[in-house]
Amino acid sequence: MTAPIRVLALHSHPDDIEFQCAGTLALLREAGCHLTLATMTPGDCGSAEHDAEAIAAIRRAESEAAAALLGADCLCLEFRDLAIFNDDESRRRVTEVLRRTRPDLILTAPPADYLCDHEMTSLLVRDACFTAPIPNYVTRQWEPAPPLAKIPHLYYVDAIEGGDRDGRLQAAGFHVDVTRVFELKRQMLACHASQRNWLLRQHGIDEYLDSQAKWGAQRGSEVGVEQAEAFRQYLGHAYPHDNLLLKLVGQDGRGGAVKA
């Protein structure tokens, strides 16, 4: 029996995955993939009512509940909010996670976004994909996992509202139609009740679920479907160039299904 394709979605904070790629993850689950949802931090700065330890515990539980809706594994790398840096120790930590989860395909944060944590996550994951197969790149763990056999396929999700640090819209590389699984995506985001409360207090935003639907509809309108998620594949030297993600979900990247 052929082993299932292993997919790792690794973003910065609890709820980032649910906003940006949970629909595609639902389609990948339907395709028989093994899923792991991971966050760099537990969202320890995301509260004005709870201290860091208490809100981290709450948000870990919310992430686990969302992952359970997909039947996915869930983990946190235990960095801290606004303290993710592109340095040697961090790169080795992320590399170890890739070696332990052994993904064939990775979804991660985009290189340009409104928040430093997102951009540092993107850099660390990109480089960890390259270092994970290198035997002499040691992670200094107590019981390190063996190197990967090859560099995984790497994809960037949208930035929040599709904009870079200056709010300029970034073009999509391709789209995935998630209309059919959007309700599950919405249910996953609804698991993150504490984040809705935080955004309401900190940013004056009380459209948590509606903003998810609004951005999905924006990307969907670009390819003529109700709800879509946009991605860009990283095609740097030595990284895979075939589009495994589209092959797995059976779509053409323009809102249509691939004909059998």
Tell me: pLDDT of 247 over 90.
yes
Tell me: pLDDT of 202 over 90.
no
Which three-class secondary structure string do you get for the chain? CCCCCEEEEEECCCCHHHHHCHHHHHHHHHCCCEEEEEECCCCCCCCCCCCHHHHHHHHHHHHHHHHHHHCCEEEECCCCCCCCCCCHHHHHHHHHHHHHHCCCEEEECCCCCCCHHHHHHHHHHHHHHHHCCCCCCCCCCCCCCCCCCCCCEEEEECCHHHECCCCCECCCCEEEECHHHHHHHHHHHHCCHHHHHHHHHHHCCCCHHHHHHHHHHHHHHCCCCCCEEEEEECCCCCCCCCCHHHHHHCECCECCECCC
Q: Give the residue, 163 or 223, on which the prediction is more confident.
A: 223
CATH assignment of 6-249, among 3.40.50.720, 2.40.10.10, 3.40.50.2020, 3.40.50.10320: 3.40.50.10320
The predicted pLDDT at position 204 comes to 55
- The domain limits of the chain are 6-249
- Kindly report the pTM of this predicted structure: 0.95
pLDDT band for position 199 (50/70/90)? low
Tens of pLDDT, residue by residue over 130-149, are: 999 999 999 988 899 999 99
Tell me: pLDDT of 44 over 70.
yes
